[in-house]
A and B are shown apart, each in its own frame.
Chain A
Amino acid sequence: MASTTSRRPTLTLFYRRILRILASPSIGPLIALVLAGLFFYSQNDRFLQPINLSLILQQTSWIAVMAIGQTLIILTGGIDLSSGLVMAFGTVIMTKFAVVYGFDPIISIAAGFAVTMLFGLVNGLLITQLRLPPFIVTLGTLNIAFALTRLVATTTISGLPPAQLIFGERLDLLGTTFTLGSLFVFVLYLFMWFFLRETAFGRHIYAIGGDSEAARLMGIPVNRVLILVYVTAGFFYGVAGWILVGRIGSGDPNAGQTANLDSITAVVIGGTSLFGGRGNILGTLVGAIIVGVFINGLQITGVDPLFQRLITGVLVILAVALDQLSQRFRK
């Protein structure tokens, strides 16, 4: 009798602790990743071979980098629908400048970054100065970027100079080969994780997403931070484009058509709240890899590609539902 009464509170405490860990936004996606990995491994043992893991990273790398920019924006409570097509515009600019117009490869890359960051600036200015909702602004710039991409190029641009293909370079590591691009992703994520935690600018991004009015009252230059966030996101779309060019070996005007949604998916699965102010950028990396794992795993197990999309959809809803439930649980 005495033992049951004394055990019960510790048990509920134990369960509460387990639930709390499960509810913490960065652990959930990690568990999902491990489970998915084990599942695909049980279906086909090729899945966990280093060469396949390296392939998953390559397939994921450019989406993951784009998702860094998307995370910054979503943390402020915004959203960027234009990300994928802005990136595509950047890639056709950087490749066409080098191949067709004969500019120096580095200057051409800079031109690509200039357009992706300019789109970020336009998004940021429209959102802060005209106070338009990010969803609408970036829906507009999505279409503008799409049209501009087609005006610059209608077919793939190949025959690229080596500097533009640098992220496709292969390195031998851990008994298999990785591309420079897929390793660079981890460097970028660690840097941004540190930046968001340890600098005032990083904390201001969270503050604005948490309560922009309170942030303004506390003297944070909300509009300046927001504009810088959209421009920085543009920078990461430029990097993503550069990595993609290195991976496929050409500038493709059709690239990135659904990458905006893929990057949002990675952010959401990674546990960042769509309402802003909460989330961990490393979760986005896990989210991007989860999406990559599902695509690759379903391919390798021979499942109809349509199911890849179906499962991605289920994952998104699950991630948002878990986030909402964990919020309610904490209250």
Chain B
Amino acid sequence: MTENLSQKQQPVLEARGLVKHYGQVIALDGTDFELYPGEILAVIGDNGAGKSTLIKILSGAIQPDSGEIFLNGSHIRFSGTRDARHHGIETVYQTLAVIPYMNIYENFFLGRELRLPGILGSVFRLLDKKTMEAEARTHMQELKFHIQSMSQAVNTLSGGQRQGVAVARSAAFALNVAIMDEPTAALGVKESGMVLDLIRNVRDRGLPVILISHNMPHVWELADRIHIQRLGRRVAVIKPGEYSMSDGVAIMTGAKKLEPL
């Protein structure tokens, strides 16, 4: 039923038969993957299920031994994370990937700074701080993420706010996919709630999100579909409304089996 519905659309990001070996260890054993427009797809799996290998391949950090990846229907290979980023795939990492002593808009534009128009920017390479600050503010407001000043140093923010900056940044620059790799793992309950709200806002603005999380309540609260990875393969894709959390965990650990997809 769910499969029929979603098959009418073309996946934004799709993978077929991904295989990855590390020496004798098989991390991925022919995993398939689809992410559809406008959804939050959670990826869950036990340790060693190949979850992080899958995500590393999709974010361009590593290359598969075999298998194919399609972005908006066209076949693609990523040479690295920069390449994936050029193709509109942004990743938010579990570790807070922000620079503590730099301010919010500098963090927002880190690695892709805007330069002043004209000769000041092209020849003298001067930064356009005003525009960066204004654009950062606009992006944050679009996600209903409220922070007084964009020129505030990030180390004056709470952990949740810092991760919020990273989420907003990925949403601002991702044209196709935002990957959230354990975005709340380092955060407390209240802080996590704030970040989850932001991720939901990102999805509501039309950007599909891949959410990797160990936290089942978060997954069931946020995800539209759940990709369950086990022993290097995708064993099921379920909707959180149709299966309980304990069913999901049972599938994940192999205690329960669904019909093959």
Contact = CB atoms under 8 A, between A and B. Distances in A.
B185 interface: no
Contacts of B113: 200, 203
Interface stretch (A143-151, A205-213, A315-323): A205-213
Given A203-B106, A219-B81, A198 B100 contact: no
Interface in A176-223: 198-201, 203-204, 206-207, 210-211, 213-215, 217-220
A278 interface: yes
Chain A interface helix/strand/loop/mixed: helix
B125 interface: yes
B127 A210 contact: no
A168 interface: no
B95 interface: yes
A199 B127 contact: yes
B96 A214 contact: yes
Name which of B97, B99, B125 has the most chain A CB atoms within 10 A of its CB: B99
A256 interface: no
B239 to A, nearest CB: 32
Query: Which of A199, A203, A330 has the most chain B CB within a 10 Å cutoff?
Result: A203
A218 B97 contact: yes
Contacts of A218: 97, 110-111
B112 A214 contact: no
Given A203-B113, A217-B93, A219-B85, A211 B100 contact: yes
Interface residues of B, number: 25
Contacts of A330: 155-156
A201 B111 CA distance: 9
Nearest to A212: B99
B97 A206 contact: no
Interface string B83-99: 00100000101011111
A277 interface: yes
Contacts of B127: 198-200, 203
A210 B101 contact: yes
Contacts of B102: 203, 206-207, 210
Contacts of A201: 125
Contact of B82 (A200, A219, A277): A219
Interface string A217-234: 111100000000000000
Contacts of B129: 198
Most buried by A among B101, B127, B155: B101
A201 to B, nearest CB: 7
Nearest to B125: A199
Contact of A206 (B85, B91, B101, B126): B101
A206 B99 contact: yes
Interface in B227-247: none
A218 B106 CA distance: 12
Contact of B95 (A206, A214, A277): A214
A307 B82 CA distance: 55
B60 to A, nearest CB: 11
A207 B95 contact: no
A198 B112 CA distance: 14
A213 B127 CA distance: 23
Contact of B111 (A206, A210, A219): A219
A210 B100 contact: yes
Interface in B104-139: 106, 110-113, 115, 125-127, 129
Given A214-B96, A220-B110, 8 more contacts: A198-B129, A203-B106, A207-B99, A207-B102, A214-B95, A214-B98, A217-B81, A277-B99
